[in-house]
Amino acid sequence: MFEQTNNSGFYTTQPGTQDAAVVKSFMTQVFSWMTLAMIVTALTAYWFAGSAELRDSLVNPVTHGLSGLGWVVTLAPFGFVLLMSFGFQRLSPAILTLLFIAFSVLMGMSLSFVLLVYTAASVYKTFAITAAMFGIMSVTGYTTKTDLTKFGSIMMMGLIGMIIAMVVNFFLRSGTMDYIISIIGVLVFTGLTAYDVQRLKRIAAGSGEYDGITARKLSILGALTLYLDFINLFLFLLRFLGDRK
């Protein structure tokens, strides 16, 4: 589970000071990068789930747990998010783009297990519902005149509390707590979607102040933020809506 933070080097500016075309162009780039990453992840997940050889490379044949490669695939995305966030100032747009695409591939490899655990019909259904919820909250965050900064802070606190609860429940293995965590997860990432879109719109409003290189890097990190909101919302919804094989 991941969530982009302000440590990435994002700079926010109040909207309304730049031409609407600049905002639209920036947000188009953000959603274009996000869509590309989603396509890469989906294709990779489908490829790995359909190949027994590739799938088995992620599982230890003796213990039936994760293999060395499986652990790399599971943990590496955390490192990629941290590298892209804290290395924002030093990394070039080309390197940042390559890291983002590599991150999308790793996520696809990791999510391939979803296609093995849940029926295809329930995965497609959950994806469609996630896309609808994400779209509604994106439009809400983009069009609302209400400042969502305080709301976003509450969502971030909820995210931190949820992560702590997940760590605790890893040892307790409580089904009730797992259910509660899933509900909180859906609420948190639904809310964060609206907050993050508004925050990115504010960044877009000030994007004219940046050079082309910085603006491109900001758009990639913005895409990473929304990608993570979507994936996490999808995974939490799948706990409720997914039918296991």
Question: Which one, of 238, 215, 224, 228, lies nearest residue 26 by Cα?
Answer: 215
Residues 140-176: b if buried by 16+ CB within 10 A, e if exposed: bbeeeeeebeeebeebbebbeebeebeeebeeeeeee
**What are the residue ranges spanned by the domains of the chain?**
14-241
| Alpha helices, H only, 149-205 | 149-172, 175-205
How far apart (Å, rounded) are the C-alpha atoms in residues 55 and 41?
Answer: 15
* pLDDT in 10s for each residue of the chain, 245 residues: 444 444 445 545 454 444 788 889 999 999 999 999 999 999 999 998 888 787 778 776 666 667 778 788 888 899 999 999 999 999 999 999 999 999 999 999 999 888 888 999 999 999 999 999 999 999 999 999 999 999 999 999 999 999 999 999 989 989 899 999 999 999 999 999 999 999 999 988 876 666 778 889 999 999 999 999 999 999 999 998 988 87
- Which one-letter amino acid corresponds to residue 231? I
How far apart (Å, rounded) are the C-alpha atoms in residues 221 and 218?
Answer: 5
pLDDT given at position 206: 76
pLDDT given at position 209: 67
Q: What angle do CA 136, 176, 229 make, to 5 degrees?
A: 25
pLDDT given at position 63: 66
How far apart (Å, rounded) are the C-alpha atoms in residues 237 and 233?
Answer: 6
pLDDT given at position 11: 46
How far apart (Å, rounded) are the C-alpha atoms in residues 71 and 65?
Answer: 9
pLDDT given at position 61: 65
Q: What is the pTM of this model?
A: 0.87
Determine what percent of the chain falls in helix, strand and coil, rounding each to the nearest 5: 80, 0, 20
pLDDT given at position 3: 47
Are the CB atoms for 87 and 65 separated by under 8 Å? no
- Which one-letter amino acid corresponds to residue 122? S
Classify 68 as helix, strand or coil: helix
- For tokens 């293999």, the residue is 67
